[in-house]
Amino acid sequence: QVQLVESGGGLVQAGGSLTLSCAASGGTFRNYAMGWFRQAPGKERMFVAEINWSSSTTYYADSVKGRFTISRDNTKNTVYLQMSSLKPEDTAVYYCAVGPFSSDAAAMAYWGKGTLVTVSS
């Protein structure tokens, strides 16, 4: 049984920073990309960032480019999302995902249950 468990969410003021973690277990993740998606209240789940197996390639949504940094540690099967200069519009439930290198949520093979990030103004 594959499990992805996110952690690190919480309340932060606008302009602040927060780092999310996602630990994957129960499967073989070699050659899979890992990424982050988010869903705000009343909105669709949207792509945030992704990183390939070797960490040689990353891709970010325009809305977070320059503010968020994705990284991974394959020895721990863990992906991280460092968020800085946070804005109220970043408020959402953040989901970790594993799958092919794609910004399409439908292409992802496995999902975590999410962690809530709230940015106050």
CA distance 24 to 67: 25
Q: What is the pLDDT of residue 28?
A: 86
Q: What is the pLDDT of residue 9?
A: 98
Spell out, as residue ranges, where the chain has pLDDT lower than 70.
none
Q: Please, which contacts does 67-73 make with residues 24 or more away whose CB atoms are closer than 8 Å?
A: 70/35, 70/36, 72/34
Q: What confidence tens digit (pLDDT) does each residue in 50-68 have? A: 999 999 999 999 999 999 9
